Every structure is written in C-alpha cells, then in structure tokens.
Structure 1
Amino acid sequence: MKVALLTLGTRGDVQPYAVLGRALKDRGHDVTLSTASNFESFVKSYGLGFRPVQADFQALVASPEGREMMKNPFRARKYFKQLVHPMIYDCLTTFYGLAKESDCVLYHVKALGDYYAEKFPEKMMRANVVPAVQPTAEFPNPVFSGLSVPAFFNRFTYTMADAGLRMMHKPIMQFREANSMGRKISKDLAISSLYGISTNFLAKPKDYPPNSYFTGFWFDESPTPLSADLLQFLQAGEPPLLITFGSMPFDVSFDIQKAVLNLSKRFGLRILIVKGWGFENTDQIETHDAIRVITSAPFGELLPLVKAAIHHGGIGTTAECLRAGIPFLPCPVIYPIGDQHFWSQLSYRKGYAVHPVPLKKLTETLLTESVKELLYDEQLYSHAQDMKGTLRSEHGLQAAIQIIENHFAGNKVIQKTLAK
C-alpha cells in the first residue's frame, strides 16, 4: 500500500516516523514521509520517499522571534501571522495532497491531519509518541504537566491545547475553504491512535478508547554508523558522560563551558557533548583531551557506550537511555510548558533518573551535586539495567506494524500488498 507519514517539529518529532517508515518499507509498502525540507537528507538515509514542506522550525526557533515564542508561548500571537501562518497553510496543502494520493495516512498531531480527516477517515490514523491529545483522568496533558495542576483537573488540561490551535485558526480556515471543506470541522470521527510508548514505562490509561494502542517504543538500528574518530574517542578510556540538550536553543545562568571543564576535573570524567541545535558555543572545551564535541550521532548506537547522560528530558532521548540501561539527569529546556517535564518526573519516580532540574533553574553548584549523585548512586544503575532487560522483551515496532496492517486490511489495495 502507499503509506503517507506526516509530521512536523524537531528531530524528535521526525525520527520515530523515519523508523516506522523503514519498517513499513521492509514489509513491502511504498512509504513517503512529509516534513520540513531541512530533514530531507535524514529521511532519505532511511530509504524513504520524501515530500518537503516549507516549515524550517530549526531556523524559526533559532531566530530572535522564535526564542521569544519558546520562552513564553502565550505571548507568541504577535509573531504567528507573520511567521507561522504561511508555514501552516503550506504544510496543510502539501500534507493534504499527499494524503489524497495514499492508501494509509499516519500523522503526528502537529501535522493537523484532524482538519481534513473527514474527507477520508477510513485511511487516517494518528501516530504519536506523546499522549497529548486524548483526555485522561490518570495524568495531566504532558505538555502542561509543569503547571502543577491538581489531579482532579487532569482532563481539563487537554483542553488547554486549544489555545495554541486558536492561534492557527486563520490559515486552517483558509485551507479548508480553498479545498471545499467549509468552516465546520467534524469532531466525532472515530480515528484510531497509535502510540510508540512502552507500557512498562507509562501504563496505557484505563479510560482510553479501544482503538488507542500503546505498542512499545519504536526502536531500530540507525542507517548511519558511528564515525571512526568518535569510536576512537569512546574506546580510548572509561565510558564518558554524555551531555546533550536536544534541538532547542537554551540559556543558562552560568558559564556552561567552564562548568563542563570543572566537572571533568573534579570527577576525573571524560565527557562527550552532542551539540544538536542547542549548544552554540563550545570553543573553550573543544581542545580539551578529555572532552569531545560532536554535532550529532545515532543514539541507539552511542548510548550503550557511555556511562550516563545529562539531557533535556525528551521522550526520544529518554527511551534510548532506558534501552541502553544508563541513568540520566534530565534538565528540561522547555519549562513549564512542554512534555519534557512529564517524562523527566516519570523517570525520576521510577528510579531511572536523578531529580530533574529545569535548565533555566540550573546552577553550577546544583549541576555538580546532581552529577555526583548520577555517577555514584548504584541503585540508579541497577534500575536502569533492569529496565533495559524488560525492554529487550518488547517489540514495539513489530507490534505497530501489525496494528497498522490489521487496521487497514479492509482496503483492497492493502489486501493485495499483504498477500505478496
């Protein structure tokens, strides 16, 4: 069958779809992933078809306007008309065009597939790694979990996401009218939801409908191996401490390069920094023998070779740490809005992580104390290794493929593909 994968955002929003897409391709399906044009080489490295949209969020979040929006999303309205509205309209137009051509459409909630799903609900399925759309009484919306809302308001927090959607109302309505859909949006479609989440990490809510599935994490091997010089560094001594803060720009109240040097000296640590989109300045530490700075690396291959990690708390990096059996210190970059706090707190409660510290609240003293606990708390390592063993028995990717194929088996095109 012809499968369309639609997603928007940072690498953490794209990689799960690339992993899922390659698994579908290996099953004989024709897969096209549509996302921002700056991910073209990454998507193609997975052997997938690519349909670009003009929505470079890397450039947006790095801009002064983007930085202000990230600091306070509720003050972002003034930039939406100028910067975001044209992106939204282009994305919807491209996504809708690809969806019409396809037999099966798997879409991230950020790809706004719900705004044209009424045209062909039989071939639409939500696919996410963050349960931020379907209300539940069991936990707050992960995106707003940093707001300390009382438990009896958990369901209400899922309506708070409507504020962001209201800011995109104009381009959404323009798109719908241009494609003869009218202004009234169908909200009673029984669209199934697929989540790449392990129930051993987060239990599926009991009040979710039957057509919502937690499959387990979507893991596979990266098509890009570790570079020779990185392998040489990793093998030249004790496993290093990994530091990475993901795809978002960030600010701290202290000299982070100096702090890294002090950590290395105080604890006799080798340190590996993955810059991602966030680490801007590393000139003071790039020449230090015990410290290596790289732009990116496949975490599935890298994390089993490090001792522990300091990271932003995103679910993708968190899942890879659990898979590798290493403990971590989560420092959410986006706080209190954003799902990083949710996964960080969950990891801490389960014993896989040091108590999380939002990056904006981090001091060098607090960093040093947290790293000391991270390095020497033996229970953290024991719990992390136990979870590694548990995840080995899961087959989240295979479960997702089976659900997808079974769900769309009524389609004659899909029946023909599966019969091969």
Structure 2
Amino acid sequence: MRVLLTTWGSRGDVEPLAGLAVALRELGAEVRVCAPPDEEFTALLARAGVPRVPLGPSVRSVVAGPRPPTAKDAFRLAPELVAARFETLTAAAEGSDALVATGLMPAGARDVAEKLGLRYVLACFHTLGLPSRHFPPGRRPGTPSPQDETDNRVLWEQDAQRVNALYGEALNSGRAALGLPPVDNVRDHVLTDRPWLAADPTLWPSRGRTDLDLVHTGAWILPDDRPLPADLDAFLDAGEPPVYVGFGSMASHAPEDIARVATEAGRARGRRVLLARGWADLAAVDDSDDCFVVGEVNQQALFRRVAAVVHHGGAGTTTAAALAGTPQVVVPRIADQPYWAGRVAELGIGVAHEAPTPTVDSLSAALTAALAPETRTRAREVSGTIRTDGATVAAKLLLDMPLRDHPVQVPQGNP
C-alpha cells in the first residue's frame, strides 16, 4: 500500500506525520510526506527516513517576522496554500492508495484524492475546529460574529462562512480545473463527517467535543533514541535538575522578554535554567553557569531529566512532558494552547499561567506550585496513562481500508 501524508504548519504539525510514517513503514507500507520546506522539517523527516516533497512556502517565513501574522496575511496565504496543494499533491499522490491530510485547513487535499480515486482522511491534533453544539468555534480571520450571538449552531455556520471567504474561491477554481463540481461548504468538505483525532485520550478527551463521528487514535509520537549532546549532558549532571523553558515554533508570539523573566524566576526558586532557543531565538541573559541554551534535541530523553517544563502549550510539548512524568507550567498564547494549559491544571500535572505575558513574580509563583512534591507525584501517575501506540493504531486503520475508493460524494450546503 502507498500512502501520501501532507501538512502545512509548525513542527507540532509535521512531527506527528513523521511518527505515522514510521509506523506505516514498519507495517510494510510505502510512505511519502508533503510538508513545508523549512530546514528543520527537512532534517526531521530525514532522521525518520521518510521521503519528503516540499509544499508551499516555509512556515518560518510566515510566522517569524517582527509581528504576528495579520488577517490580511491570512487572506493572502490561504489561496497560495490551496494552489500549492493542487499542484504538489496531484503529482506526489500518483500511484498512492490513500491520502492523509493535517495542519492548517488543508483545502485541496480531499479534492486531489477525489480526482485520483484515493481514500482520504482528515486528521487533527485537537477538536477546537470541529463543529459542536456544545462549544462555540475559535477565532478565525474574517468577519467576526456579533458579540450578542450565543447560539452555537449559528456561530458554527458563521465560522463556515469565514472558511469559505478564506479558501472557497481558490478551492473551487482548482476543482473546476480538475473537472469537479464546486463545493459550497469548504470547512465541512475538508473535515468530512469522520475525522481522526491524533491526541492522547487522557490529555484531550473526545467525548462531547464534536458532533462529528470522531475516530480517536491517540497521539502520533515519533520515537527518538538520539543521545543528548555531551555539553548538555554535562550541564544536567553538574547540579540539581534545571527548569526547562521553551516556546518551540512560536516566534513573534513568544512572551516578551521571556528569557530574562524565566531565568530570574528560576533563580528565585533556587533552580538552574535550561533555555531552548527555538524560533523565538531565546538566549542567555548573562554568562552565569546556572543557565544553558540548547537547540533542537531529543525532548523525550531531556524532559525526564528536568525539574519542570515551562512552555507555550503546544500539543507535542504537552504530550512529551506528560509522558515524561515531569510537571509543567503552560503559558498559552494562541489557538489550542489555552485548552492544553487548562487540561494540565485540571489533571494536576502542572500549572496554567493565567496571563499570556509572565512577570518574574507570576512565573516564580507558578514554578512554586509546579515544583511541589504533590504535583510531581501526580505527573508521574498520569504519565502511566499516556498512550504511545497512537501512530500504530492509525497505521493499522489505514492499512485495513480498501486500497482505493470510489470518488467521494461532495457535501452541498451546511448541515
């Protein structure tokens, strides 16, 4: 069986696909991944031994500017990505049997699959973008809903209209070029009525989260057996476990002055600090030997050796810290991050920092709670419930599908 996997988004969107690709390959499938051309994603997929086809512009070129992307940027990027998917996926999917799409609203992927007669799966790493009678939609570029509107069904219909405004013209232009009829609800067309949720059931329970028929596979974790760099290993051995501080692929969204704030907060608690450089380019604030800066490393190994993990609340970092049994302080900034922060606090495995921009005092207080013995005990308890077989579960589901499918029925109108 041949499977094409595709995404466009941050590392948290790319690494799970690498994990699924490895699981598929171990079960005998041939796999290719279409992903953004960022150097670190190329290196990640090469380490996993997965062939990569570049898709769209680099993510870093979009998000790593001096300011966060604007709505205007989103309306420029959306049709660019749709056009890139039609062009790139049509060539890359030739000879495949199934196409799995994730990441930023992958409009165009299902349409290529439809034209080529492939099975199509939409996978997500949280449920915030899935229609639900119980929850309102998150924010999206475009005309906002009236502030006094509280009917979730109406709010989700308006969300679908915003998706149409972003992607509809480009999607239907691409479909017309393939001889396919137009779609009038892009969001529901992309999602299908049976999306897959690649998140750990303990960390992100799916019951009651969406009206769709969700397939909950568990998180897609890429195994990592790389040793830690020698200088990092020496730093870890030189004293008590440090506090890790990292904001991953967050660049312009990282809290202002976070390196200084985190270093001073760690010192206030008598802890050394390990700064992860990331896309925010965190750097040491002085030359003291109680602070160490590290680049891209094996988080699975590292998180087991630190006292706490301070991070933005990305799905991958939250899952890695939970699996390691290490307390967390989550400083959420955008998108799904507030939910991950709330879930960490609800489970008792860490602290949700209320303000998006920590001060030395607020982060010091959060670290006090995270470093408490009862938090570490609870984190270790919960670590035993985190599943590591999600990628294998998903791979087996794909392999059990018919090799090819008849063209899918295109939904017309809002449900």
TM-score of Structure 1 vs Structure 2, range by shorter chain? 0.7 to 0.9
CA contact (8 A) 2:219 2:390 kept: yes
Name the residue aligned to 2:367.
Answer: 371
- SS of corresponding position for 1:310: strand
Percent of aligned pairs with the same residue?
25
Amino acid across the alignment from 1:205: R
Q: CA deviation at 1:32?
A: 0.2
CA contact (8 A) 2:89 2:112 kept: no
CA change 1:283–1:241 in 2 (3 A) is: closer
Superposed CA RMSD in Å reads: 3.1
Name the residue aligned to 1:10.
Answer: 10
Do structure 1's residue 179 and structure 2's residue 175 form an aligned pair?
Answer: no
Can you give the 5+ residue segments of structure 2 that lack an aligned partner in the other structure? Answer: 406-415
1:385 to 360, 380, 393: 380
- SS of corresponding position for 2:44: helix
Can you give the 5+ residue segments of structure 1 that lack an aligned partner in the other structure? Answer: 412-420
Superposed CA deviations along residues 252-280 of structure 1, whole A, max 9, x for unmatched, are 786434323322432221111112112x3
- Aligned positions, number: 392
Find the aligned partners of 1:49 and 1:143 in 2 and give their Cα distance: 34
Amino acid across the alignment from 1:181: L
Q: How does 1:270-281 map to 2 (within 5 A)?
A: 270-278=272-280, 280-281=281-282
- SS of corresponding position for 2:351: coil
Find the aligned partners of 1:50 and 1:251 in 2 and give their Cα distance: 28
- SS of corresponding position for 2:123: strand
Specify which structure has the higher proportion of helix: 1
Q: How does 1:158-307 map to 2 (within 5 A)?
A: 158-159=156-157, 160=159, 162-184=161-183, 192-206=194-208, 212-222=214-224, 224-250=226-252, 255-278=257-280, 280-285=281-286, 287-307=287-307
Amino acid across the alignment from 1:95: L
- SS of corresponding position for 2:340: helix
CA contact (8 A) 2:220 2:391 kept: yes
CA change 1:53–1:403 in 2 (3 A) is: same
CA contact (8 A) 1:140 1:151 kept: no
Name the residue aligned to 1:408.
Answer: 402
Q: With a CA cutoff of 8 Å and minimum separation of 6, indicate the structure with the bigger relative contact order.
A: 2
CA contact (8 A) 1:127 1:195 kept: yes
Q: CA deviation at 1:123?
A: 0.9
Find the aligned partners of 2:314 and 2:214 in 1 and give their Cα distance: 22
With normalisation by structure 1, the TM-score equals: 0.83
CA change 1:240–1:326 in 2 (3 A) is: same
- SS of corresponding position for 1:277: coil
CA contact (8 A) 2:7 2:14 kept: yes
Q: CA deviation at 1:115?
A: 4.3
CA contact (8 A) 1:54 1:90 kept: yes
- SS of corresponding position for 2:131: coil
1:131 to 127, 130, 136: 127
CA change 1:223–1:87 in 2 (3 A) is: farther
CA change 1:339–1:162 in 2 (3 A) is: farther
Amino acid across the alignment from 2:304: P
Name the residue aligned to 1:44.
Answer: 46
Moved more, 82-91 or 32-41: 82-91
Superposed CA deviations along residues 336-392 of structure 1, whole A, max 9, x for unmatched, are xx11111111221221221333434x223212221222222x332222111111226
Name the residue aligned to 2:336.
Answer: 339
With normalisation by structure 2, the TM-score equals: 0.84
CA change 1:46–1:313 in 2 (3 A) is: same
2:391 to 388, 397, 410: 397
Q: CA deviation at 1:96?
A: 3.1
CA contact (8 A) 1:3 1:30 kept: yes
Superposed CA deviations along residues 293-346 of structure 1, whole A, max 9, x for unmatched, are 112222222111111111001111111111011111111122xxx111111112
Do structure 1's residue 349 and structure 2's residue 346 form an aligned pair?
Answer: yes
